[in-house]
Structure 1
Amino acid sequence: MPAYLDTTPCPTPAWLPEGHSQTIFASRFSSHHRTSFVRERVDTPDGDFIDFDWTAPGFGPGASLTPPMFAQLSASAGTPAVSHNALVLFHGLEGSSASHYAQSISQYFRARGWTVVVPHFRGCSGEPNRLPRAYHSGDSADIAFMLATVRQRLPGMRWHAAGVSLGGNALLKYLGEAGSEAGWLAAAAGISAPVDLMAGGHALGTGLINRRIYTHMFLRTLKSKTLQKAQRFPGTIDVIRVATARDLYEFDDAYTAPTHGFRDVTDYWTRASSKPLLAGIAVPTLVLNARNDPFLPGRYLPGVNEASDHVVLHQPEQGGHAGFPTGHFPSNLNWLPQRLASFFRTGR
């Protein structure tokens, strides 16, 4: 059976008429609730670390994330204050638990008694990671490690997973590779995931706004962190090519691809894309992409014959990239977490 296609609109305001305004306004100006997290650092098998930011009823600032704390949370699940449900949320490129989408989604679910955890991809938690490598759009091995970690911490929870942008693509890739082995997840969602990295990468390198705003924003932090790595690991990074990269194509060809085991940027973008793996997903999964997303034009989104019957493809005409603002000025970010909650509850 093919995937289910949902075209129900996201009611974006008339004064945010297209994808760029919806993306930028949601990121910078839309109102949303905020939450605080308690951080846990977990060492990886290869000698690095990943920081997990947790929030839940009873997890306040200054709490110590010790085994007794997790045991207490697990024991209290099912009480009026604490749900048995938990959500692991993967952020996007150069994002973190402070990103607007992570804050709005985390607060929405926490307020309803859920436990929420935001794992940070390597180097994104505010402190450099320990190795020359960083993270990438197809990092399904790290997704698997993060999922195994949170499941180990709270094995009695009913776990859900969601990823935004890069995190969404990496999660979807993992789900497609894992198939039924990911069946312990109750449901999953990929939000504004660039499922075709080749198309998305070229889109970000084309057009004045894409190059001057989005690409410039990403390269500013990516270059800085990578050049700092080069000082710590002399001879491992092509400093000149990184420093002179003008777009993500050149940056990924100079650093991301060779550092993470890919032949070049074409090999990386091809092998790391989740679109070819959607047919292998065996967990109820929402793949939500606005058709006016400036990071991935609508013509490159998957069709119903490219995904398994466990997948709902929701493709509203409006919403931008990781935005989906609604309501009166200055708009709000309530629609996205509500859409996630609806899918987790009904499977549609």
Structure 2
Amino acid sequence: MSLFSGLWSASRTTTVQFRAKSGKKIIAVKERQNNSERVSLCDFVERRCPSLHSQFHPAWWLSNGHLQTLYCVLGDFSKRDKVVYKRTYIRLRDGGTLGLDFTPVDGGDIKPDTPIIVVMHGLTGGSYESYVRAILAPACSPVQQGGLGYRAIVINFRGCAGVPITSPQLYSAGHTDDLRQALFYISHRYPKAPLLGLSFSLGANVMTRYVAEEGEYCRLSSACVLACPWNLTANTDKLVSTYIGRHVYSKGMGRNLVNLLKRHVTSLTRDPEHDVAKAAALTVELDRPTIELFDESFTRIAGGSTPPWPFASAHDYYEYASSHKVLENVRVPFLAINSADDPVVQDVPMDANGNEWVVMVLTPYGGHLGWFEADEGWGQVRRWITKPVLEWLRATGEDLVSAREYRGLCEIDGFLTETGSENLGCKEIDGGHLVIGTEAQNGMLAGL
């Protein structure tokens, strides 16, 4: 019955709630005649992102968080928001590999200073996810066709979306160095372009932590995070406290992770004496584990390759990786959107630790990465979230005046690295190819 609760109540007027504690004028925005003025982030959002204050009415047949979330997973989006990418592989200094998917493929006419959307996907997804394409399809369409005319680059995690595993490590909610190294490459390749962060679910947690860790030196001019899991301990506990949370969502995510691990178990167990190899061999034998059990068996050991990894327990990993407690360190315009009826993320830090750089938005409905409203045609839906995110991307990509200084990039032993982070580095390797964005991965539940 919980799946259909709220069927009638969802028709009432809904509002979007956001909170910014301070009215301090912290950002410079472009005005007429090449002048600029300083405004608060709250005022900036009110002027340039009006859709955040509009009413969101979920489709009547997707009237609560469970239905919205399940439709995100089970719905057919193969004919909507088609995106084609050109993949570039980069090898990291630790031997790992990331897959960077660029769109539009033929970007030769795009100006060097055109904003670039840097995307991080959810738990076991990739650039093919419908929630990614729902925003990138219009964002990367030409201006003449009603789009923003931007470039986008999706960073596919190690092992996701066809990216090979080439070192004894997967990825996790708390490992930010892969994003950091990908941004070395992107910044070097497009030095004049502002980089706009956009991330979903687990990727949102990674991006939040990265932005907070970098502070004033963040290579992203802004960040927008959707359905971030924030307090991993609290949200995991709440998720497994209900039958549907434990047996549908948590085990669904756990199954996805095991299936992903099975694809790469040969690569991860080349050295059978390695701790990651031992953990992988045990974990692939788990039968429909919860996500917590998967993290206890594998992620706490293989989610990173340098201290503080490995962790003594999944709980210790959750405590370290949670992003809610680092919000106070964010120093770029930062927009976070969650849904109040999200069955996966139920604990949202609406006060943002009082940080004036952060705007928190909580919609009454939307589920986990859903936000479906009725579209033209019987039974058709569209994502409400697309419009406010596009407004944010346009505003932060075109209206912000940035005078930030970044740490210098240099090449050491063939790897591009950053001053002060010489233990990290990346280089482009062969193997790039076209990726059709609507082609999901067999055996994986999408939308998570």
- Verify the 8 A CA contact 1:8 1:316 in the aligned structure 2: no
TM normalised by structure 2 equals 0.68
Which residue type is aligned with residue 127 of structure 2? S
Corresponding position of 1:204: 239
Decide which moves more: 9-18 or 284-293.
Answer: 9-18
Q: CA RMSD in A?
A: 2.4
Corresponding position of 2:185: 149
Which residue type is aligned with residue 295 of structure 2? D
Corresponding position of 1:188: 223
TM normalised by structure 1 equals 0.86
Q: Matches of residues 29-178 of structure 1 in structure 2 within 5 Å?
A: 29=75, 32-56=80-104, 58-59=106-107, 72=108, 76-77=110-111, 84-111=114-141, 112=147, 113-178=149-214
Decide which moves more: 39-48 or 120-129.
Answer: 120-129
Match of 2:282 among 218, 236, 240: 240
Q: Which 5+ residue runs of structure 2 have no aligned equivalent?
A: 1-19, 23-41, 46-51, 142-146, 400-448
User: Aligned partners of 1:30, 1:241: CA distance in 2, in Å?
Assistant: 31
Once the two structures are superposed, residues 102-131 of structure 1 have per-residue CA deviations (whole angstroms, 9 ceiling, x without a partner) of 121211211121101111111002143112
Higher Rg: 2
Alpha-carbon deviation of 1:241? 5.2
Alpha-carbon deviation of 1:133? 1.0
Q: Percent identity, please.
A: 24
User: Aligned partners of 2:73, 2:260: CA distance in 1, in Å?
Assistant: 22
- Verify the 8 A CA contact 1:89 1:117 in the aligned structure 2: yes
Alpha-carbon deviation of 1:181? 0.7
User: Aligned partners of 1:295, 1:170: CA distance in 2, in Å?
Assistant: 17
Question: In structure 1, the residue corresponding to 2:373 is in which secondary structure?
Answer: coil
Corresponding position of 2:435: none
The structure whose residues are more often strand, as a share, is 2
Which residue type is aligned with residue 289 of structure 1? N
User: Aligned partners of 1:219, 1:310: CA distance in 2, in Å?
Assistant: 34
Q: How many residues align?
A: 327
User: Aligned partners of 2:150, 2:395: CA distance in 1, in Å?
Assistant: 17
Change (3 A) 1:174 1:125: same
Which residue type is aligned with residue 271 of structure 1? Y
Q: Which 5+ residue runs of structure 1 have no aligned equivalent?
A: 60-71
Question: In structure 2, the residue corresponding to 1:289 is in which secondary structure?
Answer: strand
Decide which moves more: 201-210 or 19-28.
Answer: 201-210
- Verify the 8 A CA contact 1:85 1:158 in the aligned structure 2: yes
- Verify the 8 A CA contact 1:160 1:186 in the aligned structure 2: yes
Corresponding position of 2:254: 219
1:252 to 2:306 alignment: no
Question: In structure 2, the residue corresponding to 1:326 is in which secondary structure?
Answer: strand
Once the two structures are superposed, residues 125-162 of structure 1 have per-residue CA deviations (whole angstroms, 9 ceiling, x without a partner) of 21431122100011211121122221222111122011
